[in-house]
């Protein structure tokens, strides 16, 4: 009975949306996380605010597939479907 209860607690903890946002600095790297800050994770979409248009362009065109793949591997239960970058 106890192992089942612990598994349920672990599953709830693993599927919390805030875990995806909290993991973002490790995924992108601490230096980049200062310039590209994750602000929310809703309906499978991680929203990231990016400081500059050049970084925005680089993330959208070159890094997005790699970052999305890393998130999907780390959080299969959260069903990360997309990363939405915004300048702000």
Query: Can you name the CATH fold of 2-87?
Result: GMP Synthetase; Chain A, domain 3 (3.30.300)
DSSP, res 51:
S
pLDDT value for 79: 87
pLDDT at 21 over 90: yes
DSSP assignment string, 14-26:
HT-HHHHHHHHHH
Q: Residue 1: what pLDDT?
A: 65
- Residue 13: pLDDT band (50, 70, 90) is very low
pLDDT of 86 > 50? The answer is yes
Express each pLDDT in 33-83 by its tens digit.
999 999 999 999 999 999 999 999 999 999 999 999 999 999 887 789 999
Rounded Cα gap, residues 76 and 4, in angstroms: 20
């Amino acid at each position: 009975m106890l192992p089942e209860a612990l598994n349920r607690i672990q599953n709830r903890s693993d599927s919390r949306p805030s875990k995806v946002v909290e993991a973002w600095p490790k995924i992108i790297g601490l230096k980049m996380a200062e310039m590209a800050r994750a602000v929310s994770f809703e309906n499978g979409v991680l929203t990231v605010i990016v400081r500059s248009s050049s970084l925005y362009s680089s993330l959208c065109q070159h890094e997005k597939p790699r970052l999305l793949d890393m998130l999907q591997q780390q959080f299969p239960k959260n069903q990360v479907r997309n990363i939405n970058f915004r300048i702000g």
